[in-house]
Amino acid sequence: MLKICKNQKNIVILRQNCNTSKIMSNADFWQSIQTIIEGGYSSEGLHLLDNYAEQFINGKLLYQRFSLPEQRGCAAGGSTNVIATILAGASIAPNCLTAPIGSFKREQQCGEIQASRIERWAKRVGCWVDCVNDRLQQQFGQEVAQGGEARVFYHGASLIKMIGLDYYVTPVLALDRIALYNTYFPETKLIVLGFGRDSEGAFQIIVEQPFVQGKSLSEAEIEKFATNLGFELKNRRNWTYATAEIYLSDLHDENVIQSKEGIIFVIDCDIRINTPDLKMDGIRQLSSEVAFTE
């Protein structure tokens, strides 16, 4: 049967399990996402988003921004991560952006629009936290670590992290990082619990990660580890490695540890799709195309 979702502007038809149903096109899919956003995340819209997330996780909706392993990495972050990734990836009308094309200000405007979309959705489904740093401190006590992008709280066998946009500016790139991280370092995968803003109003992604104890590695040991994964050292000063498709940085001795069993764990890093603009010999192009499979 067909599920029909209506608002004042559009009628969106979602293919469900019916052999006679038409498979959605890329254009139809993104139009349905825009309709959900513009409709204020109605009950019907939320149902559609859940359905899309399920198809994404099951591999019936292929998001061509990612390779298949990377899509599985995104799915490993949970359905909350998947839906936020889709919302952040939807196009932004040019008339919503006033800053010059290619400027940092325009990138900031894109980031705030993406953050606003996720915020409105997260508030509707109950995974939003105001003044998230205060709330986490009340629940878990004082933070145990703070880096350039994250504040970390101890929670027994896991860590709770609030990740800001300082490194990424836009939520879509910060969410890319979670998909890639889970692809390459699944032993310490990041699961998205929700979103919020800190006491200064900055957008935050709240994640949970397994807590791992171990010893720090030397730079030589980290280089050997990264090289064995197929990465080439590009800049020793900021611990940057890359392949033609993936950029990996911040891989220093505080972010890579070895357990007493000899297993190496990456507990934090800056990982991105390696596009040419990163100037690390990257060949990837960011795509928003989707395809549905039978």
pLDDT at res. 143: 83
Are residues 143 and 153 in contact, defined by beta-carbon separation less than 8 angstroms?
Answer: yes
- What's the number of CA atoms in the CB half-sphere (13 Å) around residue 246? 22
Where in the chain is CATH 3.30.200?
Answer: 126-210
Count CA within 13 A, CB hemisphere, residue 59: 6
**Per-residue model confidence as pLDDT tens digits over 222-276:** 999 999 999 999 999 999 999 999 999 999 999 999 998 999 999 999 999 999 9
Phi-psi region of 102 (alpha: psi -120 to 50; beta: other; left: phi over 0): left
Quickly list H helices, 19-58: 26-38, 43-57
* Each residue's pLDDT tens digit, 152-206: 999 989 999 999 999 899 999 999 999 999 999 999 999 999 999 999 999 999 9
3-state secondary structure of 294: coil
pLDDT in the model for residue 20: 30
Helix (H, G, I), strand (E, B), or coil: what is residue 241? Answer: strand
- Rounded to whole angstroms, how far apart are CA atoms 206 and 193? 6
Q: Which CATH architecture has domain 126-210?
A: 2-Layer Sandwich (3.30)
